[in-house]
Structure 1
């Protein structure tokens, strides 16, 4: 798929709300800068580029923060050590409204006026997706009264559960109803000749968007399965599997290796600079290492060569792998941030380098990557992991769950190989993949915990133990899109992760680490609202809920 970056000039020319530097949503809603109309083929790509950036794995994206919470990454910002304030996520909150949702709403209203129904359907599905992600992170958010500009400058914060399911009085449309409307509009007669270039995700294909919409419904029903019986909702979706995302139809945004304009993966721009943004989580790496996971050279790039002398005076070193631990009490914590040594994100998540073991300094031509890895948002393999979870927990069918799990595993490996092939890097062999999937326990040399996922699944005594295996593998496969990883963990308490002892809580899947770190606060169940929104909007909640107050679907 060809990707044309939306330049700053174009973004300004088609400005439909405040720029991304806005401090809060309330100001955007109070003083919209939207022109009365613009072209739909200009609006749609602005929405899609901003959506991927705001939710994705980059310095300003919410995935980078949530990956830090889930101990996949660590960076110099404090969220990985469980500290957040009312200013932590104001930029992302504002941009999701101003650059994504406001522009997207204009696609809906203008597309309806012009009877460009495929545009309308696409925008409705994007709206449902973005709002579901915001509810999953913040809980109650402005929804039914938002995006109206001067018609309502103080929108109420609708309840999280009502945004998902709708309100009894009909004032809040459910996300499921919104998705159904979007799917219906995709089938209406419409002249959308320019959609092939304007739609950066599916090139204007109504069929692919319809399958995305059905898969999104399946995902959301899975997320609320603890609140009600979703069997009648998910059974027809699972039965008509051809109406769900197929392989090669991932909901993602592609990037290209050009710098004028800059079309590169934005995560690459920071982590393959002279001063990388992120380190890799110790226990995330150790889990993959213990299981001999062949994806490691695609996931991580070691700046230290495999044959180099062991690096010293670093917080954590394992051969060429170097990182710092959040809240570390080690004497070399400061030096562990040295840009010349740390292991960084690699090819798979951000289009960096495949690790051949030769090392090299980021920010140099010698280790430059193509920066073309897509920002994954909702994938085929995630669909199959969702099916495995539903078959196990809702339909109580471990055999069907295993079948879906096997396909999820294989699809996740095929996705890594597809990115490697596009990059011109080596691919994993069938022997490597099957060796990982089918690795057997062998006493102390390979304990059951470090055996292959199928062996662990088959030997799990309970469905909850089987779910741990499924969610661990989904956790690893989803590296690069942290929002859903964070949501999955809060919903299921799986996979268990290691955190500072001050934060540990086994009942929530939070196991204590080796005692060498100190945590601040609590492991959050939600992100905090921007302080300015609470201050300026008279219909806001006034104060943030406690950080450990659950989102409705956790009950």
Structure 2
């Protein structure tokens, strides 16, 4: 196993920035010696660029639009998210983080790794590139894909249709799988910030990613979805304890990206994000002990939430529960700095399998996988009581129910498990399936009755720079795979 060329703490202090107002260092554009950046430095830079996007802007947008969090009446930073009216310019940094910072470095890993026969680096970078492309197309719809990442050879790549991109994603994962060799002595070590070069875990990640790619099409194109899912039948998915994540710590420059943003110099520990009643009411209804894992109680030990988007009618200064340190969202708890950023979790893998089984596309017991997903979520946050929780009326898996009822239970529990830790994925699954079915329109919405955010707006910089960019869509327009 190779060792990283620089101590990991030193590397992270270079490639991770503390606030969302700045971007990661793009080491491909280093004016001193860009062409000679070695693969073992490119990989952690790419991984950190991706987790920065997931843990910062996407965590905030996903957290609000999944109705885990809402704007504090005592502050104002994220009111536009509750109003469903973000400025297109607000999406520029996260577009840059994913497409330029992360994916350009991943592409360099692939190019240089092939040239130097560091094929496990190539496999990891190819998987993360597929993950990043799926993340980008799920957020924005049509994006550059077939002509993307060509550098100065093509600075105005065409925008591909999402339906075509999904074909390419499945093929990209297959390419990576063909390269994975756990016995390759040239695999990375600590320079892989996610799995530390464990290629068996990356293989499980690959199978799970392909399962997720297939299921995204389940309602739009069931035959195509079933075919993709069928290719991973009998494969091993992310196992218990194999959650794909990047860890952080309290050292400056190495903090959780969300905490770095909300506790940094710009926001200066102003607590904008508070508990949404949509989620807290659901947890309370079923006496869900994860409530204390995902939210901090007020002074008397109780949990208080406000309706989504009620910042204009709430009382400034009134006590409201805030996200827990485990989510990275508590601006005044330094433990937030150490919250990990999660790409795919073991409980997500269980819920994906449960859905595929419920649809008849994988063999197995959908109810057992559903319960396993609940258990893994409880376990991840050190919470007991999953068995009694899962046996309750309204939570117990509807064994005799319709496919839609089974999927509804699965996605609702996936949403509960992702509270504060995979918000952007929870929002995407709601857009795909309509579950949970109890979301309310934000009280602050200004986009019309019955409308929700359905897609990110293209950054202004992209619309003005690339003449091949499509016209700007509305925030309530749906992406191609969305049928709900």
Q: TM-score, normalised by structure 1?
A: 0.76
Question: Residue 101 of structure 1 contacts residue 127 of structure 1 at CA under 8 Å; is this kept in 2?
Answer: yes
Task: Tell me, yes or no, if structure 1 residue 4 matches structure 2 residue 9.
Answer: yes
C-alpha distance after superposition, 1:254-289 (max 9, x if no partner): 122x32x43232333456774223111111111101
In the other structure, the counterpart of 1:88 is 90
Mark the CA change 1:187 to 1:519 in structure 2 (over 3 Å): closer, same or farther: same
Kindly name which structure, 1 or 2, has the bigger radius of gyration based on alpha carbons. 1
In the other structure, the counterpart of 1:348 is 326
Question: Residue 132 of structure 1 contacts residue 175 of structure 1 at CA under 8 Å; is this kept in 2?
Answer: yes
In the other structure, the counterpart of 1:263 is 254
Using the TM superposition, give the Cα deviation of residue 20 of structure 1 relative to its aligned residue in structure 2, in angstroms. 1.8
Using the TM superposition, give the Cα deviation of residue 156 of structure 1 relative to its aligned residue in structure 2, in angstroms. 0.9
In the other structure, the counterpart of 2:3 is none
Task: Tell me, yes or no, if structure 1 residue 177 matches structure 2 residue 171.
Answer: yes
Mark the CA change 1:112 to 1:368 in structure 2 (over 3 Å): closer, same or farther: closer
In the other structure, the counterpart of 2:190 is 197
Mark the CA change 1:231 to 1:540 in structure 2 (over 3 Å): closer, same or farther: closer
- Secondary structure at the aligned position of 1:255 is classed as coil
Tell me how far apart the structure 2 counterparts of residues 109 and 21 of structure 1 sit (CA, whole Å).
21
Number of residue equivalences: 456
In the other structure, the counterpart of 1:247 is 240
Using the TM superposition, give the Cα deviation of residue 64 of structure 1 relative to its aligned residue in structure 2, in angstroms. 1.4
Question: Residue 327 of structure 1 contacts residue 519 of structure 1 at CA under 8 Å; is this kept in 2?
Answer: no
C-alpha distance after superposition, 1:290-326 (max 9, x if no partner): 11001111110124222xxxxxxxxxxxx55254641
Structure 1: state its 5+ residue gaps. 13-18, 166-173, 307-318, 353-361, 418-427, 440-450, 504-516
Using the TM superposition, give the Cα deviation of residue 377 of structure 1 relative to its aligned residue in structure 2, in angstroms. 1.4
Using the TM superposition, give the Cα deviation of residue 457 of structure 1 relative to its aligned residue in structure 2, in angstroms. 2.5
Using the TM superposition, give the Cα deviation of residue 351 of structure 1 relative to its aligned residue in structure 2, in angstroms. 8.2
- Secondary structure at the aligned position of 1:252 is classed as strand
Tell me how far apart the structure 2 counterparts of residues 324 and 21 of structure 1 sit (CA, whole Å).
35
Tell me how far apart the structure 2 counterparts of residues 544 and 457 of structure 1 sit (CA, whole Å).
42
Question: Residue 123 of structure 2 contacts residue 177 of structure 2 at CA under 8 Å; is this kept in 1?
Answer: yes
Tell me how far apart the structure 2 counterparts of residues 393 and 481 of structure 1 sit (CA, whole Å).
24
In the other structure, the counterpart of 2:43 is 44
Task: Tell me, yes or no, if structure 1 residue 326 matches structure 2 residue 309.
Answer: yes
C-alpha distance after superposition, 1:106-130 (max 9, x if no partner): 1111111111101111100000000
Select the residue among 356, 373, 384 that pairs with 1:408.
373
Mark the CA change 1:239 to 1:47 in structure 2 (over 3 Å): closer, same or farther: same
In the other structure, the counterpart of 1:20 is 23
- Kindly report the root-mean-square deviation, in angstroms, between the aligned alpha carbons of the 2 structures: 2.9
Select the residue among 387, 392, 404 that pairs with 1:434.
387
In the other structure, the counterpart of 2:473 is 545
In the other structure, the counterpart of 2:100 is 98
In the other structure, the counterpart of 1:469 is 409
In the other structure, the counterpart of 1:520 is 446
Using the TM superposition, give the Cα deviation of residue 532 of structure 1 relative to its aligned residue in structure 2, in angstroms. 2.0
Using the TM superposition, give the Cα deviation of residue 191 of structure 1 relative to its aligned residue in structure 2, in angstroms. 4.7
Tell me how far apart the structure 2 counterparts of residues 462 and 9 of structure 1 sit (CA, whole Å).
52
Mark the CA change 1:21 to 1:400 in structure 2 (over 3 Å): closer, same or farther: closer
Tell me how far apart the structure 2 counterparts of residues 268 and 224 of structure 1 sit (CA, whole Å).
34
C-alpha distance after superposition, 1:468-527 (max 9, x if no partner): 222111101011211211111111111113323xx7xxxxxxxxxxxxx24211312211
Question: Residue 229 of structure 2 contacts residue 361 of structure 2 at CA under 8 Å; is this kept in 1?
Answer: no
In the other structure, the counterpart of 2:216 is 223
Structure 2: state its 5+ residue gaps. 1-6, 72-76
In the other structure, the counterpart of 1:164 is 166
Task: Tell me, yes or no, if structure 1 residue 453 matches structure 2 residue 395.
Answer: yes
Question: Residue 388 of structure 1 contacts residue 402 of structure 1 at CA under 8 Å; is this kept in 2?
Answer: yes
Tell me how far apart the structure 2 counterparts of residues 290 and 152 of structure 1 sit (CA, whole Å).
54
